[in-house]
A and B are shown apart, each in its own frame.
Chain A
Amino acid sequence: AQSVTQPDIHITVSEGASLELRCNYSYGATPYLFWYVQSPGQGLQLLLKYFSGDTLVQGIKGFEAEFKRSQSSFNLRKPSVHWSDAAEYFCAVGNRDSSYKLIFGSGTRLLVRP
């Protein structure tokens, strides 16, 4: 069965420090992979996506993620965190059938210290 694991429930970083959020997935084939961000009380905004090709993908707000097939991982990174990055981050794997369903991880809440 498909699944997504985000092992870190909370992460706290200082403003200006680098960030890495972990995501591991279980999927029978090459998946579609996504990172979404959610501010409190809001919907989800797509940060970046991977479908095929270059395994390092760039997204909005200075985020990037790297697909590593051998590790079944799709970790999200940012070289320098801003206070406005404080939010909840969700990794998701997408079906490659007609449903295009997404399976989400449980999320990682990012706190930014001034």
Chain B
Amino acid sequence: SQTIHQWPATLVQPVGSPLSLECTVEGTSNPNLYWYRQAAGRGLQLLFYSVGIGQISSEVPQNLSASRPQDRQFILSSKKLLLSDSGFYLCAWRTGAYNEQFFGPGTRLTVL
């Protein structure tokens, strides 16, 4: 069966520090991968999605970036965090067998 992992689960970082969040999927191949951010009390905002290795589409201009170095690995990065980057970051995947997305457990990021 397929599983999705995100780490770390929680992170507290100072303003201006770098960021790297990792998402990996097991049990499937060539998935579409997605990064979402959920601000406190808000819905989900799609940040990036990828349909294959090295293929990244950005939905919202910001100081975040994403990379997909391997088929089942999706990384969210920043060179310098802002206070507004705080939130709950969710990774999701889908493959051709499904039209729905399956979500990971999330990473809670607090920027101080």
Interface residues of chain A, those whose CB is within 8 Å of chain B, are 32, 34, 36, 41-46, 49, 51, 90, 94, 98-107
Interface residues of chain B, those whose CB is within 8 Å of chain A, are 32, 34, 42-44, 46, 49, 51, 57, 59, 88, 90, 92, 94, 99-106, 108
The prevalent SS among residues of B at the interface is strand
List the A side residues contacting B57 at CB < 8 Å. 99
28 A-B pairs, CB-CB below 8 angstroms?
A: A32-B100, A34-B100, A41-B88, A43-B103, A43-B104, A44-B92, A44-B103, A46-B102, A49-B100, A51-B99, A94-B99, A94-B100, A98-B51, A99-B51, A100-B32, A100-B99, A100-B101, A101-B34, A101-B46, A101-B49, A101-B59, A102-B34, A102-B44, A102-B46, A104-B43, A104-B44, A105-B43, A106-B42
Output the least CB separation between A13 and chain B (Å).
20
Cα(A49)–Cα(B98), bound, Å: 11
List the B side residues contacting A32 at CB < 8 Å. 99-100
Are B51 and A43 in contact (CB-based, < 8 A)? no
Query: Closest chain A residue to B102 by CB distance?
Result: A46
Output the least CB separation between B2 and chain A (Å).
13
Q: Which 6 A/B pairs are nearest by Cβ-Cβ distance?
A: A43-B103, A106-B43, A44-B103, A104-B44, A104-B43, A43-B105
Are A42 and B105 in contact (CB-based, < 8 A)? yes
List the A side residues contacting B51 at CB < 8 Å. 98-99
Cα(A99)–Cα(B46), bound, Å: 12
Q: Point out the residue from B44, B59, B106 that lies within 8 Å of A90, measured CB to CB.
A: B44
